Amino acid sequence: MNTISKMNQLYELMPAVYRERDAAEGYPLRALLHIIQDQAEILHTDIRQLWDDFFIETCKPWVIPYIGDLVSNNLLYDASRIVPSKTAEELFRDLTGPDFLPDMGIRIRADVAKTIYYRRRKGTLPMLEELARDVTGWAAHAVEFFRLLEWTQNLNHLRSEAEDCIDLRGLEKVDRLDGAFDIWSHTVDVRDPAQTEGGHNIPNIGFFLWRLQSYPLIRVQARQAGQPWQYHFSPLGNPAPLFNRWRREGDASGLANEYHVPAPIRLLFFYDDLERYRLQQPPRLNVTDLYGPFNQEGSFYIERNESGVDPAIDPKAMPDVFDPQIVCCRLNPWPASQPVGQVIAVDVEHGRIAVGDGFGDVTMDVSYHYGFSADMGGGPYERGKWIIDSSLADLQLFVQQDSPPPGGHSSLGSALTEWTNQGKPNTIITILDNRTYDEPLDIEPADDAWLGIEGANGVRPHIKPNGGRIRITGTHTDATVTLNGLLVEGGVDVEGDFGTLRLIHTTLVPGRELREDGQPGTTDPSVLVTDTSGGANINTNFELQAAFSIIGPVRIPEHAQKIYLLDCIVDGIGAPAIAATGTTDQPVTSGTIERTTIFGQSFFRSIELATEVIFTETLYTEERHKGCVRFSFVPHGSRTPRRYRCQPDFETEKVIRKAKDRAKAEGIPLGSSDLDDIRTEIRAWLVPSFRAEDYGMPGYAQLRITSPVQIRTGAEDGSEMGVFGHLKQPQRETNLGIRLNEYLPFGLVPGIIFVT
């Protein structure tokens, strides 16, 4: 029913005589009934919602606690307690929204909905594993450690899982030793289970959790290495371990195995997968448990000359005459000679491919899963609310390298040419695939106009500009360029007088490129903004606005407007991370920084706000009389505006206060040297520690579990400081502890063990 007919519903119910008289009077009755109809629609909608609020699946968020109370559900921490970033809402008004809360994986609605379901299966191991997965949003595997204890067999009650000793010939099983899927018997350990100690004892039950996620990339151009037959899965050409697809268990009564978790694929695990495929009796499928097209649940897949490569030349061959096409091999370092025959060797631990000499000339496309901590830096994840609202654009162009849509383009250069020919209106250029775009990218925007280059929701295009840089030229101080959802193997050089550069869910590769060993190819900054032209200052209107992005060093003029960093990683790659153009120790303009990790020194004229930030090296601020730094890690020797609950200062103050109180109570004087010793000791151990500090590694910028708790829970709401604070990982761990206290059988001792 269209809007006009709905508005006239009440009016059309009136007798015709009244409508005729109303028409003669200029329709005053119809206008009155329209007002009544509007209010009736509001009432009708409210009544419909009241019915929906009876059910946990359809109720409004505010109703969830009340339904939970009906089933005595002890409510957990959830996204409703998170306050959206006001800075993001103010900066990015043109995005679809409607909110800017990242997905942290906690499903409070599902937890309430499954309360009765959990209680009916209370205490069973599959239920506990499913509970851990649902409550935390992480992949989980539960292990009863008493089943892995070594004991003397009783002939009346044999335990087949209690092996006497390790079979060293079973390499794949030996490779699982002390891991989540260990099958070997162990001697007793009387300590409670924990991350780094304890484990195998009668009352102990372990919950292994995978915090890294696996992200699928479909039909990516493999990067050729030093020889024509050598390729990398990663389009950047760096070591990139392949990750397993995160799968759900086959049924609710089963436990997860290694195929079900988003973990790096072990070399022996892949070898065993191919060997079991070989031993199958024909006819076989053209996929293994790990290898195959994504529409058949594969974790990775290879296409040669646009045709898929099967695991075997003839899948119907008997095991004794089986001739494989995909083989498991260690390719680090590269072999001295090319493999012989029609084979493709794959190193899943380093993401490398070696093509046999039986194939001739080839082009290689790959689909695979990579691992990372969060939805940031561009990626094939849901980011629909971070895409520019298409209704605001005067022109929208689409790019797809293979088979572009009608009216679309096969290259970015072609789309930019049409944008120029159309007069450079407000434009969105959307890239629809994960391909590599290796072409020059010189952009001269128009005055008081904007240009957005973005990857479509769910894809991650790889941009490789010629010369390693995207050039922004011309004098356009009110123009805006937005890069959204892209992986840029290069930097952005602002050579003209420009307005605003926005980086949203984008990666500007630190070092502009990566070498084959994964190290940065250069020390050039990711963002380089020219400060003068002809002796006069330019870019006085320049602003850098970055959100959920990974960036290398930043060099912008001191006289620029401002820099915003929201949920970002800024990597100085051994040099200062943020400094003025042409220097390594001069300040940039003022800054606002939220939930960001900065590797390297930072120099600012002023800091308006820095909250929940990790500065790995000193922060220097010239104007210390305004602004504040709060809930952040600030190394000793930094010059900042006033600080509030920053580490290690906050911990130092607490320890000194306790020491003074104790000294006063005991009547022992506490000298200045004693206080200096306390400060030195705390500064030595209260520092952040990361799983990896090299971009390209799955654990890049992820805090270690062994990092001080003051940093891992030092944010304003008790989450971790730094870029992954929005994941609320401490709250997830606490939620799991609450649920285990409720559902774990009496006498069992849980241990939470993070695998990644």
Query: 504 CB contacts (<8 Å, ≥6 apart)?
Result: 92, 95, 386, 454, 482, 483, 484, 485, 546, 547, 548, 549
Of 524, 522, 485, which Cα lies nearest the Cα of 502?
485
Does residue 104 carry a pLDDT above 70? no
The reported pTM is 0.90
Q: In what order do the strands lie in the sheet with 487-488?
A: 436-439, 462-465, 487-488, 507-508, 550-551, 569-571, 597-599, 614-615
pLDDT higher than threshold 60 for residue 64: yes
Q: What does residue 208 show for φ and ψ, rounded to 5 degrees?
A: -90, 130
Would you say residue 107 has pLDDT above 90? no
Q: Residue 416 has which token pair?
A: 């930019």
Query: pLDDT by residue (tens digit) across 389-433?
Result: 999 999 999 999 998 999 999 999 999 999 999 999 999 999 999
| Cα pseudo-dihedral 317, 318, 322, 325, rounded to 10 | 40
Asked if residue 373 lies in contact with residue 727, where contact means CB atoms within 8 angstroms, the answer is yes
Give the model confidence (pLDDT) of 607-631 as tens digits: 999 999 999 999 999 999 999 999 9
Q: Given a cut of 90, is residue 265 above it in pLDDT?
A: yes
Asked if the model's pLDDT at residue 441 lies above 90, the reply is: yes
- Are residues 437 and 455 in contact, defined by beta-carbon separation less than 8 angstroms? no
Provide CB contacts within 8 A for 452, sequence distance 6+: 388, 393, 427, 428, 429, 481, 482, 484
Distance of alpha carbon 133 from alpha carbon 120, whole angstroms = 18
CA angle 245, 248, 254 (to 5 degrees): 130
Question: Residue 123's pLDDT band (boundaries 50, 70, 90)?
Answer: confident
Task: Return the ∠ at Cα 723 (arms to 479 and 751), rounded to 5°.
Answer: 160
**Would you say 388 and 454 are in contact if contact means Cβ atoms under 8 Å apart?**
yes
Structure letter (DSSP) for residue 404: P
- Mean of pLDDT values over 33-57: 80
Q: How confident is the model at residue 191 (pLDDT cuts 50, 70, 90)?
A: confident
- The gap between the terminal CA atoms of the chain, to the nearest Å, is 53
Q: Residue 3's pLDDT band (boundaries 50, 70, 90)?
A: very low
**Alpha-carbon span 258 to 750, nearest angstrom:** 21
Q: What is the DSSP letter of 378?
A: S
For residue 7, what pLDDT is reported?
A: 56
Q: Where are the domains of the chain?
A: 3-52, 88-212+747-754, 214-372, 384-587, 649-685
Residue 2 predicted with pLDDT over 60: no
Task: With CA atoms as reference, report the closest residue to 206 among 197, 219, 216, 215.
Answer: 197
The pLDDT tens digits for 319-376 are 888 889 999 999 999 999 999 989 999 999 999 999 999 888 888 999 999 999 999 9
Dist. CA 677–CA 681, nearest whole Å: 6
- Predicted pLDDT of residue 31: 81
pLDDT in tens, 465-503: 998 899 999 999 999 999 999 999 999 999 999 999 999
pLDDT at residue 382 is higher than 70? yes
Distance in angstroms (rounded) separating the CA atoms of residues 200 and 26: 87
Provide the percentage of residues in the chain whose pLDDT is more than 70: 96
Give the tens place of pLDDT for each residue, 660-683: 888 888 888 778 888 888 899 999
pLDDT, residue 4, reads 47
Residue 157 three-state SS? strand
Q: Residue 710 — very low, low, confident or very high, per pLDDT cuts 50/70/90?
A: very high
Q: Are 292 and 242 in contact (CB under 8 A)?
A: no
Average pLDDT, the chain: 89
Count of positions (residues) in the chain: 756
The secondary structure of 453-499 as a DSSP string is EEEPTT---EEEEGGGEEEE-SEEEEEEEEEES-EESSEEEE-SEEE
C-alpha to C-alpha distance for 750 and 643, rounded to whole angstroms: 39
Q: Cα–Cα distance between 633 and 619 in angstroms, integer? A: 10
pLDDT of 1 over the 50 cut: no
Q: List, for residues 498-534, the tens digit of each pLDDT value.
A: 999 999 999 999 999 999 999 999 999 999 999 998 8
The reported pLDDT for the residue numbered 587 is: 94
Q: What confidence score (pLDDT) does residue 80 get?
A: 65
Question: How much is the pLDDT for 81?
Answer: 66
Given a cut of 60, whether residue 5 has pLDDT beyond it is no
